[in-house]
């Protein structure tokens, strides 16, 4: 990272990179609506607080979280630095094991490959395991356009799909809905739902299970992502809690997995570190209930027609950036979302991406470029409190990346002029002292009883809800000069190094 003028984020999103989210407003505008929605605020606070407390408990009991975290970071950094080697090794090993590897430059290419594979399987329906990569590519929508009907089988993802909604959390996509809202969606959208359905969670889960059972048993195509891709063995790994994944990954004849190229781990034994960190950081479980691992196709056992679609979609460009590339270490655990005070109040939809929260604020503008209003505003959607970095199991310094992306974000001309002028004043002791004298002179005009209740825009955004302090009778530097007897203002002392000392 240097202080030189950065080349700037790509101006526009590559065509079709995350098509579902085009036309989103800037983060502050979307967040304003969310903040005013008290039901949403209650749902989010309730859910994130519960998972936050649980996560802290199961992380603390590890005793070596910092060591695991350092190991995870080192493994990911190594894999990313040698991605060319490991990706081709992965391809060789998948192929040797009877699977097929496809390479997709962007979302549009990936969706076209999946569409072709579904057609080749001779069907127009598929069951799907929750997958971030296919959210990113807008696969469901792309398949629907050509008449292929995909059923999401993860409970929360199903709720989102039935509600014609968008996911608002990486791990818990329906976190913005409470159980009575979920009951309403089921009653409205699920054929044959019992008339007396209550909002009792076990009853809701049983209803979804019944709805899905027939689809599992008749589907001939399963679609998934993967949490990890092991180069040495050509294996894919899916970690889940509900067992729906296990069914999608084992029952259909054809299995298509869309996997980001950054998911590579060099070897089987690297899983030891990640399978310890991921469940604890995401669902706050010591171990997740279902871990499914497959390597190509096994004759007579499970899917016989096995495909892996490796997708770039902006990752290679992100990898080229010294500071930004750390975002590629992300294992999609959501710990940063659950501790983020901004996410808790703004909700996931305001981020305009399948990747919300702090990690989304650094991933989306890198994968898509800063051309849209929402992508340009995302690096600023943080108070830089650092809670995200503290919990990240792969030690992504999100505040550092945010501040870096801010430096590459387009700026309004008026703001640039104001910051340039401010830099001149704040960088000069002489001008700073002059500004302080002016503020003192004007204090009686603007303040009353020590506070200022109204300032002009853009500072009115502060005084809408908070008083501003009235400037004091004298600044610290004039007090020092007056009582400690050196130069009366900054300029005399400022002319020589170390000036102002006795």
Partner 1 sequence: MRIGLFVTCLTDTLFPETGKAVVTVLERLGHQVEFPASQACCGQMHFNTGYRREAAAMVPGFARALGDYEAIVTPSASCAAMIREYYPVLAEPDPALAGAVAALVPRVHDLATFLVDVLGVDDVGARFPHRVTYHPTCHSLRMMHVGQAPYRLLRQVRGIDLVDLPDAATCCGFGGTFAVKNADVSAAMCTDKVAAVRQTGAEVLCAGDDSCLMHIGGALSRMRTGVRVMHLAQILAATSDTTAGASR
> By CB under 8 A, what part of segment 313-342 binds partner 1?
341-342
Q: Give the span between the Cα atoms of 115 and 144, in whole angstroms.
A: 10
Restricted to residues 453-482, the positions that interact with partner 1 (CB under 8 A) are: 453, 458-459, 461-462, 464-469, 471-472, 474-477, 479-481
Q: Give the residue, chosen from 197, 295, 406, 447, that forms a contact with partner 1 under the rule CB under 8 A.
A: 406
Q: Using CB under 8 A, which residues numbered 38 to 77 contact partner 1?
A: 41
Binder of partner 1 out of 35, 58, 197, 275 (CB under 8 A): 35
Closest CA to 34 of 355, 282, 356: 356
Q: Helix/strand/coil (H, E, C) string of 250-288?
A: HCCCEEEEEEEHHHEECCHHHHHHHHHHHHHHHCCCCCC
Instruction: Report the distance separating Cα 84 and Cα 264, nearest Å.
Output: 10
By CB under 8 A, which span of 145-153, 155-163, 210-218, 424-432 interacts with partner 1?
424-432
Residues 339-358 within binding reach of partner 1 (CB under 8 A): 341-342, 345-346
Determine if 428 is a binding residue for partner 1 (CB under 8 A).
yes
β partners of residue 469? 451
> Among residues 250 and 428, whose Cβ is nearest to partner 1?
428
- The helix or strand, by DSSP H or E, that contains position 165, with its residue range, turns out to be none
Q: List binders of partner 1 among 174-193 (CB under 8 A).
A: none
User: Which residue number, 192 or 427, has a Cβ lying nearer to partner 1?
Assistant: 427
Nearest of 357, 372, 498 to residue 34 by alpha carbon: 357
Single out the residue of 411, 448, 454, 482 in contact with partner 1 (rule: CB under 8 A).
411
How many C-beta atoms surround the C-beta of residue 491 within 10 A? Answer: 15
> What is the distance between the alpha carbons of residues 171 and 173, in angstroms, rounded to a whole number?
6
Residue number with CB closer to partner 1 (290 or 380):
380
Q: How far is the CB of 360 from partner 1 (least distance, A)?
A: 15
Q: In this chain, which stretch among 161-169, 175-183, 263-271, 490-498 interacts with partner 1, using CB under 8 A?
A: 490-498
Q: How far is the CB of 338 from partner 1 (least distance, A)?
A: 13
Q: Is 7 in the site for partner 1 (CB under 8 A)?
A: no
Which of 16, 25, 447, 500 is in the footprint of partner 1 by CB under 8 A?
A: 500
Q: Which two tokens stand for residue 7?
A: 């080349």
DSSP string, 11-70: SSPPTTSSGGGTTPPPHHHHHHHHHT-HHHHHHHHHHHHHHHHHHHHHHHTTS-HHHHHH
Q: Tell me the two tokens of residue 119.
A: 């057609």
407 part of the interface to partner 1, by CB under 8 A: yes
With beta carbons less than 8 A apart as the criterion, state whether 190 and 207 touch. yes
Quick one: how far is CA 130 from the chain centroid? 16
User: How many Å separate Cα 163 from the centre of its chain?
Assistant: 22
To partner 1, the closest distance from the beta carbon of 353 in angstroms equals: 17
Q: Which of 20, 233, 334, 436 binds partner 1 (CB under 8 A)?
A: 436
CB of 469 to partner 1, least distance (A): 5
Nearer CB in complex with partner 1: 246/406: 406
By C-beta, is 371 or 494 nearer to partner 1?
A: 494
Triad 52, 36, 372: Cα angle to 5°: 85
Nearer to partner 1, 249 or 378 (CB): 378
Positions 8 through 27 that interact with partner 1 (CB under 8 A):
27
Judged by CB under 8 A, the residue of 218, 243, 419, 454 near partner 1 is 419
475 three-class SS = coil
DSSP characters for 308-343?
EEEE-TTHHHHHT-TTGGGGGG-----HHHHH-HHH
Please tell me the count of residues contacting partner 1 according to CB under 8 A: 85
Nearest Cα neighbor of 352 from 339, 363, 341 is 363
Residue in 422, 442, 444, 454 binding partner 1, rule: CB under 8 A = 422
Question: Cα separations (Å) of 374 from 313, 351, 363, 366, 475?
Answer: 18, 7, 13, 12, 40
Comparison of 268 and 380: residue with beta carbon closer to partner 1: 380
* Identity of the residue, 293 or 468, whose beta carbon is nearer to partner 1 in the bound complex: 468
426 contacts partner 1 (rule: CB under 8 A): yes
The least distance separating partner 1 from the CB of residue 419, rounded to whole angstroms, comes to: 5
296 binds partner 1 (CB under 8 A): no
Binding segment toward partner 1, per CB under 8 A, in 110-118, 124-132, 364-372, 412-420: 412-420
Cα Rg for the chain, rounded, in angstroms?
A: 27
Residues of span 386-405 touching partner 1 by CB under 8 A: 386-387, 389-390, 403, 405
Q: Restricting to residues 365-384, name those near partner 1 by CB under 8 A.
A: 379-384
Q: How far is the CB of 404 from partner 1 (least distance, A)?
A: 8
For Cα atoms 285, 289, 295, give the angle at the middle one, nearest 5 degrees.
120
Instruction: Candidates 34-42, 86-94, 207-215, 236-244: pick the segment binding partner 1 (CB under 8 A).
Output: 34-42
The single residue listed with the structure tokens 């004759």 is 299
């Amino acid at each position: 990272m240097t202080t030189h003028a950065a080349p700037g984020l790509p101006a526009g999103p590559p065509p079709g990179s995350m098509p579902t989210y085009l036309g989103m407003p800037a983060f502050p505008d979307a967040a304003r609506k969310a903040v005013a929605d008290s039901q949403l605020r209650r749902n989010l606070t309730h859910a994130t607080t519960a998972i936050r407390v649980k996560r802290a408990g199961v992380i603390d009991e590890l005793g070596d979280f910092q060591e695991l975290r350092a190991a995870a970071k080192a493994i990911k950094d190594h894999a990313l630095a040698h991605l060319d080697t490991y990706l081709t090794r992965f391809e060789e090993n998948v192929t040797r094991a009877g699977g097929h590897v496809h390479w997709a430059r962007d979302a549009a290419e990936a969706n076209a490959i999946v569409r072709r594979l579904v057609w080749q399987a001779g069907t127009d329906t598929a069951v799907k395991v929750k997958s971030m990569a296919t959210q990113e590519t807008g696969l469901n929508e792309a398949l629907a356009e050509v008449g292929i009907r995909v059923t999401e089988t993860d409970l929360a993802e199903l709720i989102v799909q039935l509600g014609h909604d968008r996911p608002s959390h990486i791990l818990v996509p329906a976190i913005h809905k409470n159980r009575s809202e979920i009951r309403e969606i089921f009653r409205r959208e699920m054929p044959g739902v019992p008339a007396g359905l209550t909002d009792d969670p076990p009853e809701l889960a049983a209803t979804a299970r019944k709805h899905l059972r027939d689809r599992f048993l008749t589907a001939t195509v399963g679609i998934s992502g993967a949490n990890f891709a092991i180069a040495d063995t050509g294996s894919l790994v899916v970690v889940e809690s509900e067992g729906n994944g296990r069914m999608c990954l084992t029952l259909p004849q054809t299995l298509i997995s869309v996997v980001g190229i950054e998911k590579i781990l060099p070897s089987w034994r690297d899983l030891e570190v990640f399978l310890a960190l991921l469940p604890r950081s995401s669902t706050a479980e010591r171990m997740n209930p279902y871990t499914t691992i497959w390597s190509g196709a096994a004759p007579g056992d499970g899917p016989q027609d096995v495909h892996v679609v490796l997708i770039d979609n902006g990752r290679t460009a992100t990898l080229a950036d010294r500071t930004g590339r750390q975002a590629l270490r992300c294992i999609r655990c959501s710990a940063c979302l659950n501790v983020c005070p901004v996410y808790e109040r703004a909700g996931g939809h305001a981020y305009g991406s399948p990747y919300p929260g702090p990690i989304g604020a650094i991933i989306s503008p890198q994968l898509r470029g800063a051309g849209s209003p929402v992508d340009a505003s995302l690096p600023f959607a943080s108070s830089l409190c650092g809670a995200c970095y503290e919990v990240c199991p792969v030690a992504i310094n999100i505040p550092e990346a945010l501040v870096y992306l801010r430096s590459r974000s387009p700026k309004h001309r008026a703001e640039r002029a104001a910051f340039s002028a401010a830099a001149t004043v704040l960088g000069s002791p002489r001008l700073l002292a002059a500004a302080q004298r002016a503020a003192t002179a004007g204090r009686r005009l603007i303040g009353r009883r020590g506070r200022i209740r109204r300032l002009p825009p853009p500072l009115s955004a502060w005084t809408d809800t908070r008083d501003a302090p009235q400037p004091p009778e004298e600044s610290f530097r004039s007090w020092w000069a007056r009582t400690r007897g050196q130069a009366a203002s900054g300029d005399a002392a400022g002319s020589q190094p170390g000036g102002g000392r006795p």
